[in-house]
């Protein structure tokens, strides 16, 4: 354990925040947790965490604050609207592991710096399975010294890579989500076409595994499609948020992203048709609906 970072606050104890907070407790850190719905934070009580009733109280003694919040607007509200940033001690490091827009991450970093605080954006990939196993891919943007300051703690959660200045972690996460979201669509469309033509979808998935089509998406999400198992791990609506953030960022850079634009539309339609709270592999269901397939 990094002896200089003993008091850790986790803001946001949801699908990812709970297993990540649990791992930090198990690693020996003194963890204080806050969540808008207190019952979710209280799940960490048996792990040894303390529960705070408000963000400002949660961060008052923290050496490092982890944010695992819904979106950039919520991060801003908790840090600046609800007074968390103002309650932190000078020199506290904020590690924002939420998935937000790069421009928001840069803005938050500047505002925190003006308050005598440090910031890195460090979104993750790997879902709840990776969070439970401590095998997340962690993409960090910000000052290298602060990334190294957080390294020992973050390596309890996964594999840390410093990818550039403030906002670069969020750019890497958008790249990840673009690839994941698009690949889910490719796998779903291909398997559905095979089923429509009379092939055994499970056997097709097995047959193409190991070739150039092999991927984690084909392995994991493809199996969910075969089993029609769309219980939420990462929701359609979360994937849609990330695709929209990718498009907003692309437009701000003057970059054309026609493939991402198409998939933003597909995920939007899946959400509008009532599939938003299913796992993002349920884009399969939207494509099946379009083709008159159950």
In a domain, 22, yes or no: yes
Query: Which of 281, 16, 5 lies closest to 158 in space, CA to CA?
Result: 16
180 and 257 in a single domain? The answer is yes
Query: Element (H or E) spanning 138, and its range?
Result: strand 136-141
Query: Collapsing DSSP states into helix, strand and coil, what is residue 124?
Result: strand
Radius of gyration of the chain (CA): 20
Using the 3D structure, point to which of 102, 136, 165 is the last residue of a domain.
Answer: 165
Among residues 143, 165, 187, the one where a domain terminates is: 165
pLDDT per residue as tens, the chain (294 positions): 444 679 999 999 999 999 999 999 999 999 999 999 999 999 999 999 999 999 999 999 999 999 999 999 999 999 999 999 999 999 999 999 999 999 999 999 999 999 999 999 999 999 888 999 999 999 999 999 999 999 999 999 999 999 999 999 999 999 999 999 999 999 999 999 999 999 999 999 999 999 999 999 999 999 999 999 999 988 999 999 999 999 999 999 999 999 999 999 999 999 999 999 999 999 999 999 999 997
- Which pTM value belongs to this model? 0.92
Whether residues 101 and 139 share a domain: the answer is yes
Burial bucket for residue 179 (CB in 10 Å: 0-12, 13-18, 19+): middle
Q: Report yes or no on 66 lying in a domain.
A: yes
Cα 195 to Cα 99, 188, 189, 261, 294: the distances in Å are 35, 11, 10, 27, 11
Same domain, 34 and 161: yes
Q: Is 66 helix (H, G, I), strand (E, B) or coil?
A: strand
Residue 2 in any domain: the answer is no
> Exactly one of 22, 40, 145, 173 is catalytic; which is it?
173
Catalytic site residue 241?
A: no
How many domains is the chain built from?
Answer: 2
Q: CA-to-CA distance for 53 and 143, rounded, in angstroms?
A: 31
Q: Do the Cβ atoms of 187 and 280 come closer than 8 Å?
A: no
Quick check: 149 and 93 in contact, CB under 8 A? yes
Same domain, 116 and 204: no
Same domain, 146 and 238: no
For residues 129 and 234, state if they share a domain.
no
Q: At what angle do helices 258-270 and 168-196 cross, to 10 degrees?
A: 70
CATH number for the domain harbouring residue 113: 3.40.50.720
190 and 116 fall within a common domain: no
Q: Can you give the residue range of the structural domain that contains 39?
A: 7-165
What CA–CA distance (Å, rounded) separates 22 from 43? 9
Contact 212, 259 (CB under 8 A): no
């Amino acid at each position: 354990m990094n002896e200089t970072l003993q008091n850790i606050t986790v803001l946001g104890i949801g699908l990812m925040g709970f297993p990540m907070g649990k791992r930090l407790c198990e690693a020996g850190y003194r963890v204080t947790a806050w969540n808008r719905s207190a019952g979710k934070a209280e799940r960490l009580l048996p792990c040894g965490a303390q529960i705070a009733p408000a963000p400002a109280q949660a961060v008052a003694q923290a050496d490092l604050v982890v944010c695992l919040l819904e979106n950039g607007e919520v991060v801003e509200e908790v840090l600046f609207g609800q007074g968390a940033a103002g309650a932190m001690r000078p020199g506290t490091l904020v590690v924002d592991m939420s998935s937000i827009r790069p421009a928001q991450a840069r803005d938050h970093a500047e505002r925190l710096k003006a308050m005598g605080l440090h910031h890195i954006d460090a979104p993750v990939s790997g879902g709840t399975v990776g969070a439970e196993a401590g095998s997340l891919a962690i993409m960090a943007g910000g000052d290298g010294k602060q990334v190294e300051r957080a390294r020992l703690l973050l390596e309890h959660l996964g594999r840390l890579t410093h990818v550039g200045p403030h906002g670069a972690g969020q750019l890497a996460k958008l790249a990840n989500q673009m690839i994941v979201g698009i690949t889910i669509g490719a796998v779903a469309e291909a398997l559905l076409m095979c089923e429509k033509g009379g092939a055994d979808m499970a056997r097709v998935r097995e047959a193409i595994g190991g070739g150039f089509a092999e991927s984690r998406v084909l392995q994991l999400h493809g199996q969910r499609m075969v089993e029609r198992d769309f219980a939420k791990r990462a929701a359609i609506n979360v994937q849609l948020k990330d695709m929209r953030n990718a498009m907003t960022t692309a437009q701000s850079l003057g970059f054309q992203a026609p493939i991402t634009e198409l998939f933003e539309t597909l995920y939007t339609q899946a959400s509008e048709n009532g599939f938003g709270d299913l796992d993002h592999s349920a884009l399969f269901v939207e494509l099946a609906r379009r083709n008159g397939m159950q």
